[in-house]
Amino acid sequence: MAPRTARPAHPARTAVLAVLLLAAGTSCGGQDGTPTAEVAQQTAARDRIGTLSIHTAQGPRACTASVVQSPRHNLLVTAAHCVQSRRIGLLDGLVFTPGYRNGSTPYGTWPVQSVTVDPRWAADDDPEYDVAFVTVGTVDGRQIEDAVGGNPIDTGQGFGLPVSVTGYPNLSDEPITCSVRTRSQSATQERFDCGGYTDGTSGSPWVTEKGGVVGVIGGYQEGGETPGTSYSVTFDQRVTDLYRKATT
């Protein structure tokens, strides 16, 4: 599917979107001895992760996204349900704020320009394809990857990987993070167990020790409905193909 250009938000629609967006995300909390996420200390690598919100960095919060390496240096990865759904279509007026903390926007706010999702997600919100690649416009003449760097998309790595997962709960002005090991949920979905990943953390990248992104919170149950478990589509050929569509 070719990238679709995001439409500017219409004021009457923004209020409706805000309610829907606040429901987007995953629920996750510590239970039965599972670890709980902690506030993420600021690092250059974590500054590649940021919030998706409406109009401004302080606008209604939607989800989390992160910068990934791409030929044009303008690409993010997140969950598809963060940016498009069959019910309301392509979400309007989204902006990305990398490294956001306590109202500070150290790298500025970057307007979302286009979204690439798999046709099976667009047609039916199929959780097997709950991944999206998002392009953003320039700020002060710079591309986002040139400003903060980007992580490679790493597919075909299997399960059982140690990863760090950093994201932004809607009710927090600081990101949280947890170091965990991925597990198989099914042949095409993976999971990790850690508390604290509440609404707003959908789209949070699963980053390996080598810096590759091998998942984003989403997929099964749109990322998770139980307190201590989050999910992702397995990053396999499906994601490789979607990345190629987003970058050609």
pLDDT at 50: 98
Q: Which of 1.10.260.40, 3.30.1490.190, 2.40.10.10, 3.40.50.2000 would CATH assign to domain 4-25+46-150+239-246?
A: 2.40.10.10
| pTM of the entire predicted model | 0.88
The answer to whether 143 and 72 are in contact (CB under 8 A) is: yes
Cα Dmax for the chain: 49
Rounded mean pLDDT of the chain?
Answer: 88
pLDDT at 22: 38
Q: pLDDT for 149-186, tens place per residue?
A: 999 999 999 999 999 999 999 999 999 999 999 999 99
Q: How far apart are CA 62 and CA 248, in angstroms?
A: 27
Q: Are strands 176-181 and 38-39 parallel, antiparallel or unpaired?
A: antiparallel
pLDDT band at 222; cut points 50, 70, 90: very high
The answer to whether 166 and 205 are in contact (CB under 8 A) is: yes
The residue ranking higher by pLDDT, 172 or 20, is: 172
